[in-house]
Amino acid sequence: MYINGNDFLNLERKLESMDFYSLLADKDAMYRDFINRLDRREQRSGATARRRVMRPAAIAALIGVIILITGFTVFADSIVGLLKQLKFTGGIANKVEQLELGEEYPPDTNTKIIYEDLEYAEEYKGKSTRFMQKHKFNSLEEAKQVLRFTLPEPKGLDDWELVSVKVFSNGEEILPYAVELIYDKVVTRTPPPPELIGNDGWEKISEGLPEGSGSGSFYVYLTYVGENAAVKIDTTKDINIVQINGIEAVLTGPLPYERGNAYGLTWIQDGIAIKIFPCGCTYDELISFAEAYVSAGSE
């Protein structure tokens, strides 16, 4: 009946009669602590529940925003397209975006520009059958006898030398209303200091250079199109309008102007479509060259 010196018979009775909770526990403190922990837990679970509720709402909102942005983008594109159709946004570029190559287009009502078939492009692809043949003349005077329109005679092109005159042909006969003129930049033969090459060294060097070979060229195409004709260009990209002595000309090519890129300057003057294609020239040279032609027409 004794274990470790204790009277367990007596202890069992004590066990059955003893309520430690009533005797030892600080029940009020326990309850307060429990209520506090319950409150904190409910606050946390409330925040968690709110997050749990907010999470689908946030996802739904995000999806909604994405749908709205996508819808608005599509809608905006539609509106821009519509405005372009209605020409509310105006400009040549908008017109160009809606054009397809290889077709004949009506002239722009403002600029009278017609976008031609891309002959050069087809030539590049090996289809040069549509590229018109040319007949070369020995002089400009010789060509003038064939042409049925009066060529403008620009002044002030001292730096440029006419090196080629050709008239277009359809293969069977000469077309008397289209001519190609090629100008090369005149080389300025300023002799270097004698100490560099000797007294007569420069003369020997310059003798080997062909006449008229310069660092740049202009290809000028003159076509009689008649009064009230439209400007025809053969590209639908990088189209800009520039003023040349009061005449509106179409500049094709990327801006800002950069030597080496393909450029073209086209306008109609006295029923003649004038197209200038620079080769290795600066923008200022192009404008000066064009101004010389415009001045020739206004005289």
Partner 1 sequence: MSMETVSGSQFCRLAEKTEGCGTALQEAKSAGLSREEILHLYTEHAGSVFNFFFYSTGDREASMDLVNDVFLKVLDKSRTYDHRKGDIKVWLFTVARNTLRDHLRSRRRAKPCLAIDEAIGLPAPEHSDPEAAATLKADIMALTKALEALSKRERSLIALKYGAGFRNKDVAELTGLSEKNVALSCAVPFPS
Dihedral, CA atoms, 291, 228, 263, 280, nearest 10 degrees? -40
The 10 Å Cβ neighbour count of residue 136 is: 11
The binder of partner 1 chosen from 1, 57, 86, 196 (CB under 8 A): 1
Edge to edge, the sheet with strand 160-169 lists 133-137, 160-169, 174-185, 217-224, 272-279, 264-269, 247-252, 239-244
Q: How far is the CB of 39 from partner 1 (least distance, A)?
A: 9
How far is CA 128 from each of CA 11, 118, 175, 223, 277, rounded to the nearest angstrom?
120, 11, 18, 20, 19
Closer CB to partner 1, residue 9 or residue 255?
Answer: 9
Q: Is 14 in the site for partner 1 (CB under 8 A)?
A: yes
Q: Is 155 in the site for partner 1 (CB under 8 A)?
A: no
Q: How far is the CB of 80 from partner 1 (least distance, A)?
A: 56
Q: Is 203 in the site for partner 1 (CB under 8 A)?
A: no
Phi, psi of 217 (to 5 degrees): -140, 155
Number of residues that bind partner 1 (CB under 8 A): 31
Binding range to partner 1, per CB under 8 A, among 34-42, 72-80, 181-189, 258-266: 34-42
Q: Is 44 in the site for partner 1 (CB under 8 A)?
A: no
Closer CB to partner 1, residue 13 or residue 204?
Answer: 13
The 10 Å Cβ neighbour count of residue 251 is: 23
Q: Is 97 in the site for partner 1 (CB under 8 A)?
A: no
Q: Is 49 in the site for partner 1 (CB under 8 A)?
A: no
Q: Is 48 in the site for partner 1 (CB under 8 A)?
A: no
CB 195 within 8 Å of CB 187? no
- Residues contacting 105, CB < 8 A, separation 6+: 99, 114, 115
Closer CB to partner 1, residue 33 or residue 258?
Answer: 33
Dist. CA 250–CA 258, nearest whole Å? 17
Binding interface with partner 1 (CB under 8 A): 1, 3-4, 6, 8-9, 11-12, 14-27, 29-31, 33-34, 37-38, 41-42
